[in-house]
Amino acid sequence: MQDETLKEYLYNTSVDGILFSLNLPNVGITRRLIGGLFGNLLSYILDVAVEYDGIIADQSLPAACAWISSKCGHPIQVHGAEHIPAEGPVLLVANHPGYFEGMAITAQLPRNDLKVLVGGIPYFSKLPNMKNHIMYTNRSTEQNIQALRMAIQHLRAGGIVLIFPTGHADPDPDCMQGAHRRFEDWSDSIALIMRREPETRLVPVIVSGILEPQFVNHPLARRQKEMVPRQRVAGFLQIYSQFKTADRPPMSHPRVTFGAAVDGQTLIQQVGKNAMMSHIINMAQNLLADHMALR
């Protein structure tokens, strides 16, 4: 894809993302309005995206994610990174506060063979280097099945996969209520993957401190009755506030905790196939409690 065509694609998908975040209709007049109001922000995002993709090519995906994370937040407080296997099939399952938690997680990896299962707006799917690390789904049944097959194939080849099992935004544990309850919404596909590829080691991950309370409690965010739309608005307000000037100090105070790895065969032996998913949920809930105790 030519540079100008890529920038046009990134611009259009960025506008799509802003309209989606603000719960506005995606029509000509609102697209022009967003372009006029947030032109500088959009231009900066395009430049960052292109540089990010270049770092992936020149260094690695974790290096690029560390660079992005440094622009979005203070130095990441990390616990349990030693639990991440340096080789072999690994399934990372994480909560999803929104904004840049995927970057914060990836920046800690000791390997460059990650593939991330993502849904929604396919912003990264055209970046020449990042697209090799993306398994995209538009959340249709057909695409979900295809993405699941791709994840299993990558694990079978000895790779590492990151998924966010609720499929949508979760409460940021550091500033929102109800994070522990959202694990009940985790997709059963986790257990399916572990049964299909029992040599895979599962590593639960908890992320917090991504969203700042001032944006979660902003009047525009609080106008949203449901939690997920409220988080989308808060995330956009934070991105706008962070990047409306290029030299703005980082705002977020991200924290990432990795749990101990356990392989599928051990899970089957310990709890059986039928109880595997409830056991994984319990692992994540316990890790959240440990994560919050480290605050």
Return the percent helix, strand and coil in the chain, to nearest 5: 55, 15, 35
- For residue 27, the model assigns a pLDDT of 96
- For residue 2, the model assigns a pLDDT of 59
What angle, 0 to 180 degrees and rounded to 10, lies between the N-to-C axes of helices 39-58 and 28-37? 80
DSSP one-letter code for 73: B
- For residue 248, the model assigns a pLDDT of 76
- Both tokens of 91, joined, read 């399934």
- For residue 117, the model assigns a pLDDT of 93
pTM of the predicted protein model: 0.94
Classify domain 3-293 by CATH architecture.
Answer: 3-Layer(aba) Sandwich (3.40)
- For residue 179, the model assigns a pLDDT of 93
Q: Which amino acid is located at 100 in the chain?
A: F
- For residue 1, the model assigns a pLDDT of 56
Q: Could you tell me which residues are beta bridge partners of residue 208?
A: 255
- For residue 138, the model assigns a pLDDT of 78
Can you tell me the distance from the alpha carbon of 291 to that of 92, in angstroms, rounded to the nearest whole number?
16
- For residue 168, the model assigns a pLDDT of 85
- The residues of the chain scoring below 50 in pLDDT are none
Start-to-end CA distance of the chain, whole Å, equals 44
- For residue 32, the model assigns a pLDDT of 96
- For residue 124, the model assigns a pLDDT of 82
